[in-house]
Every structure is written in structure tokens, then in C-alpha cells.
């Protein structure tokens, strides 16, 4: 029988507006939070072992609190300390198996409970996810992979229903695309499967490596993390463990572009330059001076940036999550550029908002051709996803007058204390 627990009604914020005054040069230091994309997956992976796992360096953002609520509804006891950024997750012997639509629609990462619950209790129901409006991001890769491990999966009334009454069996899985979510779901399913699983064309993102290291600390046998082929030898059971979330490379990249866009000088403490090789190379090409520091790296730009061409690709390519920032930089750069989006087809929705600020951008399919102008012009705009929201705030800093960014709650999902950090760097920004 599933343990009874109190259901907390978590109200997702639906308002919030940033007022950004143009003309700021961002100067100073920032500290990078723990990675959102990693923390959420680590939280889901805790379901694999009965008992209390502790995850540190967990960012205080809306998505973490939604995942907390999801785990609570599955019977876990979660406790998050906002001062230490430490989260404890006490997992019952038999967690629940249903992830409801009201939470899943708010955050795509909810799909990451699919693998752990299927492996641990042999059945799971997860609502089809919602989240950012940046493309279809189909779940075919997840489903095909888990079926190869022996799961029976069907869709019913908007839910993915997966069962493996006899447990999962190791198999060779080749992904058509190096999907991060699919790689993670397959890893968390395979760790308790009978036999050996290989995942070819696996995602190589640092977040995937971080998850793998947590699973190894729990007792999993995994080889090849960070390479295109991951080998997992199934074990009978895992133990709860302790793990520190790695720093968020997308947040670090956001601050790096913020320095370049505003002709600023920002020291990014906690940023790992090795996780951002290509974006930082592009910033150097644009005219930035980048130096390593004892705790991270520093990005300085003392002139108008030069336009740079970029094509997004899975890691170690240029991250799609940084695409809004390179487009914003190119919009006020010297020269013309082309940005090609190869990962999420809907990411260019952001461009429509930049056009309202006077940017000269033409979108044709996967390509955006950008003619740089000296300054944008403040106007009301709306965030369509986390990164678009942050990109529009940065665009507001290089616009004449005031830019009003609506639907700011999107930004809260990925950036703890974004407005406060910007103010400390010299920006004029308020929120209501």
C-alpha cells in the first residue's frame, strides 16, 4: 500500500514583470548557482533507493520546488534549506507511481521520474509534459529505448503508462539523436536492469555526467560517461547517497554574454570554462577578453562586439540554451551574422520579441540572419521560455528607454535572484 502523505497545492506563479532601463554597463562579480538541469534529474534519480539521499548546491528556483512537490506526492519526504541550498529526499519503500498532469505540464523535467520508477517499482504513469514553448521535443526516444529494455508502454488519456512486471533486461540501445532526457531516463532504468545495457549516441552533456556520478555513488556500475557510448551493468539494489550538483554552465554562459552585450566586465565565480569552450571561443571572436580566475573566469568587453556566426548542436557543440544570448549580442554587434538552430525548432519565437525592440533579423527556417545596429529601442515584450526571458532582459539593457518584460516567472525557473544579481552589477531593473 502506498504511504499516505499530505498533498501540498503548489501554485505556479503566473505574473511578474521586469522593468529594465537601458544604458547599463555590467561590472562586478557573480556566483553561479547549481545547475537546474542537473539538480532536477538528481532529484528524480533519488527515487531509485529507499532511504534519505542528500543533494547539495541545489538552486532555489521554481522548477526545483515543483519537482519537490512531485516527489512529495509520490510519497517522499523532502526538506530544502534555502540557506545551505541542501535538499534531503527520504524515499519510501514503495513510492507512488503516478506523476499528475497539473505538475508535469509546468515542467518537462518531470518526465525524468519515468526511468527510476519503472526500474524500482515496475510501473509508472507520467502525464505528457509541458514546459517551455520551444518545440515538440518528442518522447519517442525515451519510449523506444525503454521498450528495448523490456517495458510495455502505451499512451492513454494523456499519460505515458509503462510497466515491466518481470523487471527490465539489459539491451543495446542506439539513439537516433543524442537526447539528454532519453539518455538520462535510460541510464536510471538500466542501473537496476538484469544484465548489461549499452547506450550508443548517448548525450555527452556535463549534466549527464553529473547524474552518472550520483548513480555510481549510489552503487551503480557505469562506464563511458561523457563519451558517445555508455555501458551500464545492472545491480540488484542501490543505496541512498550524498552528491553536490555541478555549477550551471548555462547560467555561467548567460553572464559571459551579458558582459559582452553591455561592454562590461564580469567575473563569473563557480563557472567552469571547460564546459563552455565553444561559446567562449565565439565571445573571443566577438572581441571579448577572457581570463581564468581562481574560482571561475572573467569576461571583459571594452568595445562594441563583432558579429559572429553560430550553429547550435548537442554538447560539446554550441548549446541551444545560449542561442538567445548570441542573437541578442549579434543584434547590437558590428556586421552581419547567421545563427542556425539545429536542436529546437521553436526557439526562434524569441526573435519576434526582439523585433519589437527594433532588431533587424530575418528568420528563414532554421536560420536567422541578423544585421547588427548600434542600439535597440525599449518596448513591452514577453518571455516565452527561461532563456528567452533572460535574453530579453539583457536586450533591455542595450535599448533606449525602458523595456518591460512580461511573464517574468519563466526567468525564475532557471535563474535564482536574477534581478538582484543584475542590480549588483550596475543595472537599473525593477520588478512587479
The pLDDT score that the predictor gives to residue 357 is: 98
* Choice among 63, 90, 102, 132 that is catalytic: 132
Domain spanning 17-33+248-431: which CATH class is it, in words? alpha beta
What pTM did the predictor assign? 0.92
Q: Which three cell numbers stand for residue 37?
A: 538541469
**Domain 36-244 belongs to what topology?**
UDP-n-acetylglucosamine1-carboxyvinyl-transferase; Chain (3.65.10)
Three-state SS sequence of the chain: CCCCCCCCCCCCCCCCEEEEECCCCCEEEEECCECHHHHHHHHHHHHHCCEEEEEECCCCCHHHHHHHHHHHHCCCEEEEECCCCEEEEEECCCCCCEECHHHHCCCHHHHHHHHHHHHHHCEEEEECCCCCCCCCCCCHHHHHHHHHCCCEEEEECCEEEEECCCCCECCEEECCCCCHHHHHHHHHHHCCCECEEEEECCCCCHHHHHHHHHHHHCCCEEECCCCCEEEEECCCCCCCCEEECCECHHHHHHHHHHHHHCCCEEEEECCCHHHHHHHHHHHHHCCCEEEEECCEEEEECCCCCECCCEEECCCCCECHHHHHHHHHHHHCCECEEEEECCCCHHHHHHHHHHHHCCCEEEEECCEEEEECCCCEECCEEECCCHHHHHHHHHHHHCEECEEEEECCHHHHCCCCCHHHHHHHCCCEEEEC
One digit per residue, pLDDT tens: the chain, 432 residues? 333 333 333 344 446 899 999 999 999 999 999 999 999 999 999 999 999 999 999 999 988 999 999 999 999 999 999 999 999 999 999 999 999 888 888 887 888 999 999 999 999 999 887 544 434 446 889 999 999 999 999 988 888 899 999 999 999 999 999 999 999 999 999 999 999 999 999 999 999 999 999 999 999 999 999 999 999 999 999 999 999 999 999 999 999 999 999 999 999 999 999 999 999 999 999 999 999 999 999 999 999 999 999 999 999 999 999 999 999 999 999 999 999 999 887 889 899 999 999 999 999 999 999 999 999 999 999 998 899 999 999 999 999 999 999 998 889 889 999 999 999 999 999 998
Residue 168 burial class via C-beta count within 10 angstroms: exposed 0-12, middle 13-18, buried 19 and up? buried
Query: Would 17-33+248-431 and 36-244 be classified into the same CATH topology?
Result: yes
Q: Is 132 labeled as catalytic in the residue annotation?
A: yes
Task: Domain ranges for the chain, please list them.
Answer: 17-33+248-431, 36-244
- The rounded Cα 312 to chain-centroid distance in angstroms is 15
Amino acid at each position: 500500500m502506498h504511504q499516505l502523505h499530505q498533498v501540498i497545492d503548489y501554485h505556479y506563479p503566473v505574473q511578474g514583470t521586469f522593468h529594465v532601463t537601458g544604458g547599463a554597463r555590467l561590472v562586478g562579480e557573480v556566483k553561479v548557482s547549481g545547475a537546474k538541469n542537473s539538480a532536477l534529474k538528481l532529484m528524480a534519480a533519488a527515487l531509485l533507493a529507499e532511504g534519505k539521499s542528500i543533494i547539495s548546491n541545489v538552486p532555489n528556483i521554481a522548477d526545483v520546488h515543483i519537482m519537490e512537490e512531485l516527489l512529495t506526492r509520490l510519497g517522499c519526504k523532502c526538506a530544502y534549506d534555502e540557506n545551505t541550498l541542501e535538499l534531503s529526499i527520504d524515499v519510501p519503500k514503495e513510492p507512488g507511481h503516478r506523476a499528475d498532469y497539473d505538475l508535469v505540464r509546468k515542467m518537462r523535467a518531470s518526465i525524468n521520474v519515468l526511468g527510476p520508477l519503472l526500474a524500482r517499482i515496475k510501473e509508472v504513469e507520467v502525464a505528457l509534459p509541458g514546459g517551455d514553448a520551444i518545440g515538440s521535443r518528442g518522447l519517442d526516444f525515451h519510449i523506444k529505448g525503454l521498450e528495448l529494455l523490456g517495458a510495455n508502454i502505451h499512451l492513454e488519456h494523456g499519460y505515458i503508462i509503462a510497466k515491466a512486471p518481470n523487471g527490465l533486461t539489459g539491451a543495446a540501445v542506439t539513439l537516433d539523436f543524442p537526447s539528454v532526457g532519453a539518455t538520462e531516463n535510460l541510464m536510471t532504468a538500466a542501473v537496476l536492469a538484469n544484465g548489461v545495457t549499452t547506450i550508443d549516441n548517448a548525450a555527452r552533456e556535463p549534466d549527464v555526467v553529473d547524474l552518472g556520478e550520483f548513480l555510481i555513488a549510489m552503487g551503480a556500475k557505469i562506464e563511458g560517461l561523457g563519451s558517445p557510448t555508455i555501458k551500464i551493468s545492472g545491480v540488484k539494489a542501490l543505496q541512498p547517497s550524498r552528491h553536490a550538483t555541478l555549477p550551471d554552465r548555462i547560467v555561467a554562459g548567460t553572464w559571459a554574454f551579458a558582459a559582452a552585450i553591455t561592454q562590461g566586465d564580469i567575473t563569473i565565480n563557480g563557472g567552469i570554462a571547460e564546459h563552455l569552450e565553444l561559446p567562449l571561443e565565439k565571445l573571443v571572436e566577438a572581441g571579448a577578453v577572457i581570463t581564468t580566475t581562481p574560482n571561475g573566469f572573467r569576461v571583459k568587453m571594452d568595445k562594441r562586439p563583432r558579429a559572429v556566426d553560430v550553429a547550435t548542436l548537442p554538447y560539446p557543440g554550441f548549446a541551444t540554451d545560449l542561442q538567445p544570448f548570441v542573437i541578442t549580442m549579434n543584434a547590437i554587434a558590428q556586421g552581419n551574422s547567421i545563427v542556425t538552430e539545429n536542436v529546437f525548432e521553436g526557439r526562434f519565437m524569441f526573435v519576434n520579441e526582439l523585433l519589437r525592440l527594433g532588431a533587424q533579423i530575418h528568420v528563414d527556417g532554421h536560420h536567422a540572419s541578423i544585421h547588427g545596429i548600434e542600439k535597440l529601442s525599449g518596448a513591452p515584450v514577453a518571455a516565452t521560455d527561461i532563456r528567452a526571458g533572460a535574453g530579453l532582459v539583457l536586450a533591455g539593457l542595450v535599448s533606449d528607454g525602458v523595456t518591460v518584460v512580461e511573464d517574468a516567472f519563466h526567468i525564475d525557473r532557471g535563474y535564482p535572484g536574477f534581478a538582484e544579481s543584475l542590480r549588483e552589477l550596475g543595472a537599473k531593473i525593477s520588478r512587479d
